[in-house]
Structure formats: structure tokens, C-alpha cells
Amino acid sequence: MKKYLLLLTSFLALSSTSLWAQTAAPTVDSGDTAWMIVATALVLLMSIPGLALFYGGLVRRKNVLNVFMQCFILVAVISIEWVICGYSLAFGSSTGALAPYIGSFDWAFLNNIKVTDLSPYFISHSQIGLDGKAIGTIPHIVFIMFQGMFAVITPALIIGAFAERINFKGFLVFSLLWAIFIYNPIAHWVWSGDGWLFKLGALDFAGGTVVHISAGIAAIVTAVMLGKRRDYKGHAIPPHNITYVVIGAALLWFGWFGFNAGSGLAADGLAANALMTTHLAAATAALTWALLEWFLDKRPTIVGISTGAVGGLVAITPAAGFVGVAGALVIGVAVSVICFIMVAKVKPKLGYDDSLDAFGVHGIGGILGAILTGVLASPLVQSAYSGSIYGNYHQLVVQLIAVGTTIVFSGVGTFILFKITDLLVGVRATDKHEAIGLDETQHGENAYNNFD
């Protein structure tokens, strides 16, 4: 009798536990949340000081503070824009014909978002809310902050195309307009549950289309529309501080772990895979670029290996959560070869002045990475996704559609916003200001002062 009573008691206990688990309110996962706060900080590190040092070292000494200032002020301005309207437009829901293309203003100023709310977006970890819908395991405001760092760095990448010849007022107006009217809609298309490319099945784990293609295409458009620097002779102008370049590249590599591994929105195996593939692609691309220089120019350079590493980081970004080791190695080799050709051969031949190769590395690397995601995506990483190498040719077609529409939208939109900005405040720095240097003429400061 005691045996049967024990079994009955155990059954009732298990039943009540199961019932409680089904009806309990979802809660924050402290491990996921802690990781995402760190990842957010790592992505901020990519903008300042990472990108600022990388780009700042590549320009001449008379323009280094101007580049630093551009990166720094975008962190301030775009962060404010993000909470006022950017997040709502990118990730909010709208109704009717607009729903697949842009969000509403329901979350403007983060209206109706409480500290206790959980993220409505998730990748692998989710819980079931009281309304029966799946939600994430991190606070909503952590997700907002994480995505805000992506919104910050994307227009900052464009700086590399027009460095040393844009006036500060025009830069600021253009960058703000671009963030609102180009970045936010593309982010909605690809990452929002309402977005038309999301529903089509486009794969972009951490920003190949949303970040790198959109910024890279804007880079080439602005570079051509601004015209060449007054003393540009068709080849790279020597950087003023290669040490800055190396430190900046190293910080970008470090911060990119948050950029890619954080995009899984959880501390789990998918984040670990993204971490591994990100590192391998960067390492492979860095080595490939150095070997190309060694073979073709008889000596590898530190600027070259730094550029190769960044190219590898760019190309693996859309694929980090979909490919394994083999895919990361292929992407690393391919992006270095293609971007090396673009930077060393195509740019001098065509004659455009993409000052710091924002298009040659971020634009081309993003395009290549997004397409190769459609080729190399492995069901061994995420069972729901596969590329053409596994027989899923439809995925490659979807990736090509996503790449093509992003190129067209960013290109045309950038052209229009550039024209509007030029009419409102002007964009090109004067020849006199460019000759003196933008540090002194735009900010009244010098990076290196001689007190002797």
C-alpha cells in the first residue's frame, strides 16, 4: 500500500510541476542577459575606439581628429535617433501595405516598453508568454541597446569613402538622414518579423546586407559624387600612423565577437559557433592577404594583413551562424582574393577615390559573404537552413534577391539624400580647407602639437 501511495504522490507532484511550468510567467535568463550586455559593449568598442583608430591611422595627420570626431559624434547622434524613432521604424510593427517595408512609431521614444518586458525577438532561446507567443530570454531594452550599436557603426563605416574632403556640417546632416531613411528600412526588411526579406527567407546572421552592403554601396556613391581629393593621384596616400591602424584593426577583431556571436541573442552553442567561424574567417583572410602581398609585391605589410582581417570579419558576418569550419575557411580565402583585386587593381584602373576602401572591403566583402551564405549554409549548424552546396538552390536565389535590392535601395537612396544635403548645407569641403586639413578648419584643433 505504501508503495502505491508513493507512486501516486510522485505522479501528482510531477503533474503539478508540469502544470506550473506551462503557466508560469516567462523570466529573464541571467546568463543570456549578462552575455548580451557584454556583447553590446563589444560592438560599441568597434566604433570608438576601434573604427576611429583604424580609419584615423589611415588618413593624413592633418585629418585624424576629424575622423575621430565623425566616429564619436555618430555614437551620440545615432544613439539618440535610435531611441526617438529608429528602433520603432526598424523593429516595430506597422499595418497594411507598409508592414513589410517599415515599422510604425508605436515604440517611438521607447513608448510602452517597460524594464520588465522581455525581448520580442530571439534566435534559439525562447519562452511562451501568457498570450501564447514565443518571446526571448533577455530584457527588451538590452535587445534595443544591442541593435542600437549596429545602427551606430553602419553610417560610421561610410566615413572611409569620403575621408579628408567632406565638411563636418554636411557629414552630420547626411549621416542622420541616411540612418533614418536607408538603415532603418533595410533593417526592418531583413530582421523584423514583418519584413519582406525576412519572410522571403533571406539569411543575414549579423549584418551582411543590413550593415556592410548598405554602407559599402553608400560609400562608393558618396565617393563618386564628392569627387576625388585635390591631391589624389590614383593610388593610396600613405597613412600617417600605421600603429593606429593595427590597434584599430585588433580592436575591431575583438569587438566583432560581440557583433557576430551576440547576434544569436543567447549564450549557447550557436553563439559559440559564430565565435569560432568569425575568428577563423578573420585569421584565414589575414593570412591570405599577407601571402598575396608576399607573392605579388615581394613583402607582406602590416596595413595589408590588417585590411585582410577586417575583410574576413565583414564577409563572415552574414554567415557566422549558418556555416561551420569549412565554410569559414572558404569565405576567408575568397574575400581576401576578391577584395585585394578590388583595392589593388580595380580601384586604380577605374580611378574613383574610395579613400580608405570602405566600398572595396565592406561593400564587396558584404556582397560576397551574403552570396556565399546561400551557398555554404550548413544544416549541421542550424537544421532549418542549408545552402546550394547541400542542394538548396532556392536559398542562393533568395540571397541574390536580398543583395540586389539592398544595392539598389542604398545606392538610389544615398544619391537622393546626398543631393538634398548638398542643397541644404553643402557637402564638399573647400579647396583651402582641404589643403590646410579638416582638423584645424573644422574643429580648430591639431592632433600633434610642437611646444618646442
336-358 residue pLDDT tens: 999 999 999 999 999 999 999 99
Taking 80 as the threshold, does the pLDDT of residue 450 lie above it? Answer: no
On the 0-12 / 13-18 / 19+ scale of CB atoms within 10 A, 26 is middle
pLDDT at 236: 82
Q: Containing H/E element for 128? A: strand 127-128
- pLDDT band, residue 129 (cuts 50/70/90): confident
- CATH (residue range 28-443): 1.10.3430.10
Taking 60 as the threshold, does the pLDDT of residue 21 lie above it? Answer: no
Q: Containing H/E element for 87? A: helix 87-91
pLDDT at 25: 80
* Average pLDDT over all residues of the chain: 93
Q: Tell me if 370 sits within 8 A of 362, measured CB to CB.
A: no
Share of the chain above pLDDT 70, in %: 94
Q: Output the CA–CA distances (angstroms, integers) from residue 330 to 126, 277, 283, 288, 394, in the order listed.
A: 32, 11, 12, 11, 21
Mean pLDDT of 138-144: 98
To the nearest 10°, report the CA torsion of 161, 77, 411, 67: 0
Tally of CB atoms within 10 A around 380: 11
Q: Which of 52, 66, 85 is nearest to 169 (CA)?
A: 66
Mean pLDDT of 274-293: 98
Least confident of 81-95, 121-135, 289-303, 330-344: 121-135
pLDDT at 12: 45
- pLDDT band, residue 2 (cuts 50/70/90): very low
Q: For residue 128, which phi and psi values (nearest 5 degrees)? A: -100, 120
Torsion 299-253-384-90 (CA) sign:
negative
32-69 residue pLDDT tens: 999 999 999 999 999 999 999 999 999 999 999 999 99
d(CA 139, CA 381): 26
Taking 80 as the threshold, does the pLDDT of residue 303 lie above it? Answer: yes
DSSP string, 379-394: TTT-TT---GGGT-HH
